[in-house]
Structure 1
Amino acid sequence: MLTLLHTSPLHVPVFDALRDQDHPGVTLRHLVHEDLLARAMAEGPQAVAADVAAVLAGAVAEGASAVLCTCSSVGGVAEAAAVELGVPVLRVDRPMAAAAAACDRVVVVATVRSTFEPTAALIREEAAGRAVDLRTLFVEGAWERLEAGDRDGYLDAVAAAVDTVREADVIVLAQASMTDAADRTTTAVPVLSSPRPGLRAAVEAAAEAVAAGS
């Protein structure tokens, strides 16, 4: 079983839809812990590391063969917990970061400031020492729109910010919640999002873990 750890209930239908499109028949179990993001935003990702590890341990105890963390703010601490768990723990943005790291000029767009540091660190890690010109763009007020239930306003704000980017080889949408904004942009710069490649990697990891244990 593949378990997904979310910090927003809004991610659940996104990944269910991707599963139906790309991986029919795969069973997903969703865990939503909004408190983890709230604390990570206020205190930093390391402040929730122990709680994330506890949630993941519970998921493994309940039969998870792999876990996908869909929150970019806590993805790093989730991934680090895999050493103690004995099952793959993937962060949803790693495949996206690997694609971005192949480019020279990268702009990371986010609506939550706590996302910038782990996303930038991941891109640099995937670049493996190659110099990358990495810039960030914060979408002011967008997250508050999403929290208020204005998803269209949220996506429009993200798309408008993306369309202001100049002199970039690729634009990274740092949060899974931003994915659909890519369809609302007019930019000619490639726009990357994490859910589809992240879910693909997790499905493959879960299948490999099951095969190895059989």
Structure 2
Amino acid sequence: MATIVVVHTGPVTVQPLKDQFAAQLPDVRMINIVDDSLLNDVRSAGHLTPEVTGRLYSYMSNAQAMGADFILNACSSVGEAVDTLRGMIRTPIIKIDETMAQEASRLGTRIGVVATVKTTLEPTVRLIRKKAVEAGREISVVERVAEEAFAALLAGDAERHDEVLRHTIVALADEVDVVVLAQVSMARLVPSLGQTRVPVLSSPQSGVATVKAALSDAH
């Protein structure tokens, strides 16, 4: 049985990824490592810090010691740390949003990105731009930070959070060729959006599909 270790920076990404593993890779052993101080520290600093990268290294080193076939990084805010850690950890590391970013740059030249916090938006935008350059495509990015949604979530008002995000996503879809949801936790909103004018991409499904393809290639 293959073992996949998923490294989370908060609890909100655990269940969406458990659901995707159950749907796409029911026969693998999924191990979750959660440290909810990581994302808080990134938000407090306003960017990824060496200390956060160091803690991620320790978790991914532990994942390697657990015999992981692959490590899945579940948080876009710390995705750039993976670029450093890939040279330090023998176990292959997959970013949850890498395939989504490739798909976005393939689908259009005007790409909308939605997040509720800038610390997630900015690395997601940089990743999309990087994938576009690798594909030889010229793109423009339209950014939306739904700060009101994040404030509602902090206040315990999940209904208001969802309402603000839905409005932001649908409005942005009228301006761009494709919309990217920068946070794993947003994926559950997709079924409630109805028929949007353009594709709306979220990372849990494509991220786990990438793990599935990597496992298939390895065997």
TM-score under structure 2 normalisation?
0.89
3-state SS in 1 of match to 2:208: helix
From 92, 98, 119, give the equivalent of 1:114.
119
2:147 corresponds to which residue? 140
Letter in 2 for 1:30: N
Contact 1:79 1:89 in 2 (8 A): no
In the alignment, structure 2 segments of 5+ residues that lack a partner are none
Contact 2:10 2:37 in 1 (8 A): no
Letter in 2 for 1:204: A
3-state SS in 2 of match to 1:137: strand
3-state SS in 1 of match to 2:76: coil
**Matching of residue 89 in structure 1 with residue 98 in structure 2:** no
Letter in 1 for 2:166: A
1:190 corresponds to which residue? 199
Which shows bigger deviation, 92-101 or 77-86?
Answer: 77-86
3-state SS in 2 of match to 1:136: strand
**Number of equivalenced pairs:** 210
Contact 1:88 1:205 in 2 (8 A): no
Superposed CA deviations along residues 98-124 of structure 1, whole A, max 9, x for unmatched, are 011111100100011101221111111
1:28 corresponds to which residue? 30
1:54 corresponds to which residue? 58
From 56, 69, 74, give the equivalent of 1:70.
74
From 162, 167, 181, give the equivalent of 2:175.
167
In the alignment, structure 1 segments of 5+ residues that lack a partner are none
Distance 1:117 1:33 in 2: 21
Residue 149 of structure 1 and its aligned partner are, at CA, apart by 4.3
Superposed CA deviations along residues 158-200 of structure 1, whole A, max 9, x for unmatched, are 1111111132000000000110122222432210000011011
Distance 1:150 1:2 in 2: 33
Contact 1:79 1:91 in 2 (8 A): no
Superposed CA deviations along residues 70-100 of structure 1, whole A, max 9, x for unmatched, are 1000012024302111111111000100011
Letter in 1 for 2:142: R
TM-score under structure 1 normalisation?
0.91
Percent identity for Structure 1 against Structure 2: 32
> Any residues of structure 2 matched to 1:192-207 within 5 Å, and which?
192-206=201-215
Residue 4 of structure 1 and its aligned partner are, at CA, apart by 0.5
Aligned-residue CA RMSD (Å): 1.7
Distance 1:79 1:147 in 2: 31
Residue 9 of structure 1 and its aligned partner are, at CA, apart by 1.2
